[in-house]
Chain A
Amino acid sequence: MTAKRLLATLCILLTTTSLCHAETEMADIMRSNGKIYVVVAVLATIFAGIFVYLLMLDRKITKLEKTNK
């Protein structure tokens, strides 16, 4: 009897916890709208800009090093 009750309680606990997990809020809706890719594009653009900036700075310093030799 006690074993059965324990099993039942365990089952209920397990299902409720799994339900809780299913209800965890994630960005699914945002992604189904496809708008998340806009954010990715913006971030990629910013990072590309930083990369180009660093690259130009690097080349400028290389030029400076050559003229100073």
Chain B
Amino acid sequence: MRSWWWKILGTLFVGIAIIAGILIPVPRLDITNESIRNLYFHVPMWFTMIALFSGACYYSIKHLVSGDLRHDVYAVQLTNTGILFSILGMLTGMEWAQYTWGEAWSNDPKQLTTALCMLIYFAYSILRGGIKDDEKRGKISSVYNIFAFAMMIPLIFVIPRMVDSLHPGNGGNPAFKKYDLDNTMRLVFYPAVAGWILLGTWIATLKIRLELVQFNRDNDFLFKS
């Protein structure tokens, strides 16, 4: 436990989001009703995914520059945790859509593009599984990861905003405006986002550290024999 304060902070933020997210009054809107509270739980999943994928892209570039396999471990585990959060985000989104849009999958542009983005990242894991050599796997998958991140930005941020979508903030609808998010909701929403990002980072670091222990052990073995 080298630095623990941000782990506690993340937990506190998510704890606040769970308690205040259910108890604090929300705007009365038709159709969404109380399900507007899902904003505190569904949306942070995507923010966390984006944060983790950004970290993975950063470490992929770092790995290409340095050739250090430890940076590759960072990139892989950040991507894996990002994939976990993307699955959680997709499932919670489909649950929410079932009761507000009428069906879990309505081929909404944002649903389609995020599904594409997820497939691109699934392919990353498959690509890695197919290469035996450590150095080659690190190089190729790092390049792929950077391209995947470059694809994620238009898929998630640009295309859904250019077409009509059921999601708020797309097709000319406002997002983060008073209709979608009033000031009391902001008070819960921002800590929720920060908390989940910190928590996601914590989970990723646990996996990274475990992999690094394994990595060091393997290298020691090679060195001694």
Q: Which residues of A contact B (CB under 8 A)?
A: 20-21, 24-27, 36-37, 39-40, 43-44, 47-48, 51, 54-55, 57-59, 61-62, 64-65, 68
Contacts and interface: CB of A to CB of B under 8 A. Distances in A.
B30 A24 contact: yes
Interface stretch (B13-21, B65-73, B78-86): B13-21
Interface in B2-30: 2, 7, 11, 14-15, 18-19, 22-23, 28-30
B1 interface: yes
Give the top 5 A-B pairs by smallest Cβ distance, nearest first: A24-B28, A51-B11, A61-B209, A43-B18, A27-B34
B213 A64 contact: yes
Contacts of B213: 61, 64-65, 68
Nearest to A64: B213
Chain A contact residues: over half helix, strand or loop, or mixed? Answer: helix
Contacts of A61: 206, 209-210, 213
B30 A58 contact: no
A10 to B, nearest CB: 21
B33 A57 contact: no
21 contacts: A21-B30, A24-B30, A24-B33, A25-B33, A26-B33, A27-B34, A39-B22, A44-B15, A47-B15, A54-B202, A54-B203, A57-B206, A58-B1, A58-B7, A58-B206, A61-B210, A62-B1, A65-B209, A65-B212, A68-B213, A68-B216
